[in-house]
Copies of this chain bind each other. A is one copy, B any other.
Amino acid sequence: MANDYSLDRIDRKILRHLQDEARLTNQALASRIALSPSACLARVRRLEALGIIQGYHARLDPFCVDVGLVLFVEITLEGRAPDEQARFEGVLSATPEIVEASHVSGRIDYLLKIVVRNMQHWTELREALVGGDYGVGSVTTHVLMDKPKVFKGYPVAERHADR
């Protein structure tokens, strides 16, 4: 896992196509990569089973579904012991407004992506996070204004290159 020595050029083409258009039919995918549908399907199933493909998701316009503000929130914890991290990570799962959480090295501990209806909603949620005894030290908020580049997938090279 977490490597790619088993991915040949065909697997990489499959990944590029499905990253871009996850609802392609197996037949359409097969013809784009010049493979028979049966062989193509077997490869897709294998990529799923290996955990290389982890899911398929529709990308929605957040502002169409009750989201008024998207926030990037930097969190530092008061302490970095494993149990303090576990305590904080418990909140992450329990809070639907936190849609993505990354544990990072550097000046901060966590970077969160949070969606709320409006500023009042964020004020309340922020107070719950800070005042909730989860070990949160500081909270720095950035409000998304626009998105010059939307995430649609990772670049997948033709072939593996170590450099």
Q: Apart from A102-B142, A105-B142, what are 16 other A-B pairs with CB-CB below 8 Å?
A: A2-B61, A4-B65, A20-B57, A23-B23, A56-B56, A65-B156, A65-B157, A96-B155, A101-B147, A101-B148, A104-B142, A104-B144, A106-B140, A115-B154, A117-B162, A121-B163
Could you say how many copies of this chain the assembly holds? 2
A8 interfacial contact with B, CB 8 Å = no
Q: Given A66-B160, A106-B140, A141-B106, decide whether A60 and B148 contact each other with a Cβ distance below 8 A.
A: no
Identify which of B21, B98, B106, B156 contacts A66 (C-beta below 8 A).
B156
Per-residue B-contact encoding for A95-124, CB less than 8 Å = 1, 0 else: 011111111111110110101011011000
Task: Say yes or no: A145 contacts B104, CB within 8 Å.
Answer: yes
Task: Say yes or no: A147 contacts B23, CB within 8 Å.
Answer: no
Task: Say yes or no: B57 contacts A19, CB within 8 Å.
Answer: yes
By a beta-carbon cutoff of 8 Å, the part of chain A in contact with chain B is 1-4, 7, 12, 15, 18-23, 50-67, 72, 89, 92-93, 96-108, 110-111, 113, 115, 117-118, 120-121, 140-157, 160-163
Task: Say yes or no: B145 contacts A115, CB within 8 Å.
Answer: no
Task: Say yes or no: A106 contacts B64, CB within 8 Å.
Answer: no
Q: How far is the CB of A124 from chain B (nearest CB, A)?
A: 11
